[in-house]
A = this chain, B = another copy of it.
């Protein structure tokens, strides 16, 4: 699992900083999370093979998380994309995107599916045999969800030395990986535990932006491996949090501590700050493993 930060600054795109967008690679799936203006250029600059993205998750419809989506959808059409594209976004996203496609008479040659999100309870928005994605209801000025990405338990790893020792035919390998014992021609039963290793523990990633301090989310992200949590302000601007419905670095760290997260990545910095290192300093007083998101940075979770 790895995470590429395409943009992690609040409010407006600027010459050297970009609004929120991330690419999460998880079990060979490539997910785009949020899509501020300029995301398609950031995908190119970061050399992401963005034709591989089949699912886009949008937290909320504020511009710095969403205004790049129509451009990406259009560019896929111009590049003659054929694969389906799924957009998981708050209700309203479909109307915005389709209105623009209609008025520009620019339809997509690929199937574009909207999965609009409503409701205030956590819900599964994506699931296949390897990954499950659940919403994390957040508290912001408009309807907003974070997303929890969890790998499913993988199949067991073959112990090649052991299967070769017993001269087991390759046609049984998948059965063994699925957990079966094997009966040899001479009648001996070899227990699965002798033929396999435990699978790697499944990893999880929680994306929480934008939100005010909200302890309700702690049970939803309990023991998450990596938590990205917005930290728009430093302590000195904490008084802005209530009105703008954002968090400080310390508040983000408190959520990480309560949730027993493995690592905390901070982002969504207000553009009033020149030095983001101070976010790390303030959060580190509350939680140990603090990392700073920055545009172009890649986090490898393995």
Contact with B along A96-108 (1 / 0, CB 8 A): 1001100111100
A296 at the interface (CB under 8 A from B): no
A92 at the interface (CB under 8 A from B): yes
Residues of B within 8 A of A95 (CB): 99, 103
The interface centre, meaning the residue of A70, A74, A103 with most chain B CB atoms within 10 A of its CB, is A103
- Cα A41 to Cα B40 in complex, Å, equals 14
Instruction: Verify B96–A92 contact, CB threshold 8 A.
Output: no
Instruction: Mark out the residues of chain A between 99 and 129 whose CB falls within 8 Å of any chain B CB in the assembled complex.
Output: 99-100, 103-106
Instruction: Mark out the residues of chain A between 51 and 101 whose CB falls within 8 Å of any chain B CB in the assembled complex.
Output: 60-63, 66-68, 70-71, 74-75, 78-79, 92, 95-96, 99-100
The interface centre, meaning the residue of A12, A40, A92, A106 with most chain B CB atoms within 10 A of its CB, is A12
A13 at the interface (CB under 8 A from B): yes
Residues of B within 8 A of A239 (CB): none
| A residues in contact (CB < 8 Å) with B | 11-15, 37-38, 40-41, 44-45, 60-63, 66-68, 70-71, 74-75, 78-79, 92, 95-96, 99-100, 103-106, 141-142
Residues of B within 8 A of A37 (CB): 37-38, 40, 68, 71
Closest approach, in angstroms, between the C-beta of A12 and any C-beta of chain B? Answer: 5
A70 touching B71 in the complex, CB below 8 Å, given contacts A11-B78, A62-B106, A141-B105: no
Specify the chain B residue showing the minimal Cβ separation from A73.
B63
Instruction: Verify A70–B78 contact, CB threshold 8 A.
Output: no
- Cα A77 to Cα B78 in complex, Å, equals 32
Specify the chain B residue showing the minimal Cβ separation from A19.
B71
- Cα A189 to Cα B79 in complex, Å, equals 73
